[in-house]
Amino acid sequence: MPLINAPDFAPELLSLFTDLKTDRVDTPVIQPAHPFLDMAGEDLRRRIFLTESETGESLCLRPEFTIPVCLRHIETATGTPKRYSYLGEVFRQRREGPNEFFQAGIEDLGTTDVASADARAIADAVHILKSLLPNRALAVTIGDQSVFEAVVAALGLPSGWQRRLIHAFGEAQKLDQLMERLARAEADTDLGAEVETLLASGDEETLVAHIDAIMQATGYSTNASRSPSEIARRLKEKRVLTATELQPAQLDALREFLSLSVSLKYAPGVLATFADRAGLKLDAAVSRFDARVAALADTGIDLSTVTWRAAFGRPLDYYTGLVFEVTPRDDHRVLAGGGRFDRMMTLLGAAEAIPAVGFALWLDRIQAVRAAT
């Protein structure tokens, strides 16, 4: 028995899920905590209600459905492609509104035509919202983490810096701080003169021996989780990251990319022009982007109502490509949001990679908009 009532439009929503040929699925309210703590992102992690089993296992109240639906798919060994729909309660600490509320959505697992699956996810979210809110104009904003990853890689940054920037994608303040740091190289004063000299010489064998001697002398080696060789490798990586500095033209290119915000109708041309002007090899990323735009146009969505923002991301760490949100045209409230999460299935234990895309609907916000209409 739910502690709160489902919205009055729930039967209509479930009928829409049936029309879209999805399989209704439910998952337990009590979930293992570690997948959310490992993959969900800082914003969601600090909102989770945690508890513990009698055996000491970390558990939580279900904070969202994507991870539980994927875990259920793996556990039941269901073949793909598979389109799941869900409607149920989730539990999060929120600044506004109740901590228990209803969420619904669709997860598309295993569709190999990525462009068509992405377009269908956006089109389905818009179709559902138009059905539930027939008198409200909607706006769609999309981003693409894979395009950002391609830009960062084309700039030639070390892999460690690429990971830092990608992890900050969608968070303007963090990206600004990282770009300010990339405007200048820094000396790492924490390494010590002798270690710095050994790193600069490239004599890894002597460096490893030096680290081993320190560990033996301090007694640290008996409890160390990393070997001297591993510590030496990490110190080398840290030195490279500290010494990295982007040239002004490269930094300008990164900032220009992040400033791009245009109607999706013109986005393919804008992205191609940017790549040419910046001298970056983005052919594969541009091709995938163009294919999605074409697939979305085929669904009948008016591309002029969709905005592509190059810096747009969503606060969940598991996204790998497309991200999108749908709001009322004259309102900032997010009614639907989702994206692509191709790496999640193997991280959760699937035997092979499974392409995945989906979206969630915020039913309390939809209810509020319906009430105000």
With residues binned 3-state (H G I as helix, E B as strand, rest as coil), the percentages for the chain, rounded to 5, are: 50, 15, 35
At residue 98, the pLDDT reads 87
Residues sharing a CB contact under 8 Å with residue 174, sequence separation 6 or more, in sequence order: 168
Q: What pTM was estimated for this model as a whole?
A: 0.83
Residue ranges, the chain, pLDDT below 70: 1-4, 185-203, 207, 217, 219-225, 231-245
In whole angstroms, give the CA distance from residue 27 to residue 67.
10
Q: What is the DSSP string of 286-335?
A: HHHHHHHHHHHHHTT--GGGEEEETT---S-TT--SEEEEEEETT-----
Query: Cβ–Cβ contacts within 10 Å for residue 49, how many?
Result: 15
pLDDT digits over 137-158, tens only?
999 999 999 999 999 999 988 7
Domains, the chain, ordered by start: 10-150+277-372 (3.30.930.10), 193-243 (no CATH)
User: Does residue 315 have a cis peptide bond before it, meaning omega lies within 30 degrees of 0?
Assistant: no
User: Distance from first CA to last CA of the chain, Å, rounded?
Assistant: 30
pLDDT digits over 37-84, tens only?
888 777 788 889 999 999 989 999 999 999 999 999 999 988 889 999
In whole angstroms, give the CA distance from residue 218 to residue 216.
6
